[in-house]
Amino acid sequence: MVGSGPAGFYAASALLTSDLPVEVDLLERLPTPWGLVRLGVAPDHPNIKAVSRAFEKTAAQPGFRFFGNVEVGRDVTHDELRRLYDAVVYSVGAQTDRQLGIPGEELPGSWAATEFVAWYNGHPDFQELEFDLSHERAVVIGNGNVALDVARMLALTPEELAPTDTTDAAIAAINEAGIREILVVGRRGPVQAAWTPVEVGELGELGGADIVVDPAQLELDAASTAELEAAPPTVKRNVEHLREYATRTPTGKPRQIVLRFLASPVAILGDGKVEAIELVRNELVDGRAVATDERETIPCGIVFRSVGYRGVGLPGVPFDERAGTIPNEGGRVAPGLYAAGWIKRGPSGVIGTNKKDATETVGLLLEDARAGKLPSRGDGTLESLLAERGTEAVMYGGWEAIDRAEKAAGEPHGRPRIKLCSWDALLAAARDR
């Protein structure tokens, strides 16, 4: 198994609870497990992060081993894994962001949500980034739950941030931010937004930010009205929240989250850094956003592009560049080679979605095993190969040492943990077992 996010752990669990005698080595490039549960899920949602307790139970099963700090493509190759194991399952997630493809996207101050999320969550590869939050207006592009995470995190008060495991650097930057308005821009309408009701509902309960929705933004065309009538209850609840927000008058909280629909960015403008964003008004045609010729320029100092994550290919592993996934059928790439989670189906779905997804993949793996279709493996072990290369794997006990150190640091401050967020600090804590 390669990648220790939800897909990797759900796949490991399905294998270890099958009726075949299976051993699972779970390889992870970081010294820490749980993927986006640790480094994506918003720090003010600790209950969601608690799903890791289920993964801990899997890790405690006989036959399971964790190899952190082992990256496929860096420390071990795909071909080597194929020789060492009867079967390889890739569950490496979606490691980068989708691009807008508009002028100015690369200007300083234009960030991918992936970067901001990884930074405030303490991902060791993203701690050098410096987000200038001194500007009055921040713009978030996209109408998914990640866009709402980013908007909400920017709006949290010191009291709301204090009991979380947001990094200290991010807490300080958000507390000191000059941001007064967070403008969230969706290319389609309120009925088509990808977010979910709990997350939309939270926007109305923030201590330090008013939610602002212009009633005119919620006027639906005939097709959207019909779509709403036939829509699942979640979409109806989203729209109910928005309609209630449209009746509110701002109460003078220090920040505002403003929701804007049917607008797409056409350019990010500025002389050497972001100074404004140019939006075009859209109309819906057969459910798609089609640009009109109405444009407007909105001053802003920082832009977060939250239009989805994207899978990255691994050397030697089949990859569909357009879809950003490993081509597969139900998770089977070929007998002995499988995919699960976001790298299998693309970057959508909540944590639980990966359970069904990984179980499907493992079902095919077991079917191939029973049919004698798995290729025979060669000699050698991963441990001896890593030892030859001088790669210092972080085994599960090493992660537990990191976990203990982080929790001990957080406890006196009433925080679940204070994350170690440099490679050196993580590896040093792992050694201190």
Q: How far is the CB of 105 from ligand FAD (least distance, A)?
A: 19
For 107, how many CA atoms within 13 A lie in the half-sphere containing its CB? 25
Among positions 12, 72, 337, 339, the unique one binding ligand FAD when judged by CB under 6 A: 72
- φ, ψ of residue 56 to 5 degrees: the values are -60, -35
In the Cβ-directed half-sphere of 45, how many Cα atoms lie within 13 Å?
A: 21
Residue 342 contact, options ligand NAP, ligand FAD, none, Cβ 5-8 Å cut-off depending on partner type:
ligand FAD
Q: Is 48 in the site for ligand FAD (CB under 6 A)?
A: yes
Separation of alpha carbons 335 and 224, rounded Å: 45
> Rounded to the nearest whole angstrom, what is the least distance from the CB of residue 368 to ligand FAD in the complex?
21
Closest approach, Cβ 126 to ligand FAD, in A, equals 12
Question: By C-beta, is 31 or 144 nearer to ligand NAP?
Answer: 144
How many CA within 13 A on the CB side of residue 147?
Answer: 27
In the complex, minimum distance from the CB of residue 44 to ligand NAP, in angstroms, rounded to a whole number = 11
Alpha-carbon gap, residue 341 to 325, rounded angstroms: 10
What are the residue ranges of helices labelled H in 85-196? 113-120, 145-155, 158-161, 168-176
Interaction partner, residue 91 (ligand NAP, ligand FAD, none; CB < 5-8 Å by kind): ligand FAD
By CB under 6 A, residue 117 contacts ligand FAD: yes
- Is 192 or 328 the residue whose CB approaches ligand NAP more closely? 192
Q: Are 147 and 187 in contact (CB under 8 A)?
A: no
> In the numeric block, which tokens belong to residue 432?
């201190």
Q: Where are the alpha helices (DSSP H) in 140-277?
A: 145-155, 158-161, 168-176, 197-202, 222-229, 233-246
Q: How far apart are CA 36 and CA 6, in angstroms?
A: 8
Question: In sequence order, what are the beta bridge partners of 329?
Answer: 332
| Residue showing the smallest CB distance to ligand FAD in the complex | 5
Closer of 94 and 382 to ligand NAP (Cβ): 94
In this chain, which stretch among 38-46, 162-170, 234-242, 407-415 interacts with ligand FAD, using CB under 6 A? Answer: 38-46
Closest distance to ligand NAP from the beta carbon of 399 (Å): 24
Residue placing its CB nearer to ligand NAP in the complex, 64 or 304: 304
Residue 420 touches which of ligand FAD, ligand NAP, none (CB < 5 to 8 A by kind)?
A: none
Q: Give the residue, chosen from 14, 22, 26, 30, that forms a contact with ligand FAD under the rule CB under 6 A.
A: 30
